[in-house]
Amino acid sequence: MSSKNAKNVAGFLYCTSDLEEKVFSLYRTLSDKVQNPIVKSLLLYIAYDSLKHSLIMRGIAETISKSTPKPEDCERRLNQIWRKLASLSTEIANHEKVADSELSPLAKELAGFENSLSEEYFVLVQLKTLEYMTKEIAQIYKVDLEGLKDIFELIIKDEENHREILNSIEDLFFTEEIIKDNTPVVKYQHPEAW
């Protein structure tokens, strides 16, 4: 792999590391604003997985190249997902507390975001660059990184798990909203049937 290709791949990994660090902050902030203890703990679970992903990406990136991209380069490189994260972060920052009634739609939005995140990693796994990258690192640093693809696949699995957790949160509060709506059901809908 040429030094330019190595720098590009490392740049992408640095950017995803920064992105995952921001995702960690998003979930951590959200968990602080949620009252429900189980939801709080599930959000922290996702937060710390994201921090773990950030550290892994940064470690791989630093192995390939020491030069780091500028923040605006990362915003440009990960344009759509970066903007979605900024939008979600702003939305959460605007809440002093997040009420249970707001959790279902918010969890649905976050699940969509997690889906986009896992797609970014899936693209990386599919890239031929990953194969070249592992061979190059193995030659230069005498480190066998053939398992690198497996690491990215585990991260994708984590992202899928995050979506499932968020879907469970959405379902939990959607069900509670239905249960709380204790408006009596009228047997006869039309007065002429009385």
* pLDDT band with cut points at 50, 70 and 90 for residue 93: very high
Q: Within a domain: residue 145?
A: yes
Q: Within a domain: residue 22?
A: yes
What does the pLDDT look like over 60-84, one tens digit per residue? 888 878 888 998 999 998 889 999 9
Q: Within a domain: residue 188?
A: no
* Closest to 72 (Cα-Cα) out of 88, 92, 51, 86: 86
Q: Within a domain: residue 120?
A: yes
Asked if residue 77 lies in contact with residue 11, where contact means CB atoms within 8 angstroms, the answer is yes
Q: Within a domain: residue 103?
A: yes
Token pair of 121, please? 């990693």
pLDDT for residue 119 is more than 90? no
Q: Within a domain: residue 122?
A: yes
What does the pLDDT look like over 169-178, one tens digit per residue? 988 876 554 4
Q: What is the CATH number of the domain that holds 134?
A: 1.20.1260
Exposure of 67 in the CB half-sphere (CA atoms within 13 A)? 11
Asked if residue 101 lies in contact with residue 177, where contact means CB atoms within 8 angstroms, the answer is yes
Owning domain of residue 108: 3-91+99-177
Q: φ and ψ at 144, to 5 degrees?
A: -85, 110
pTM for this entry: 0.77
Domain count, the chain: 1
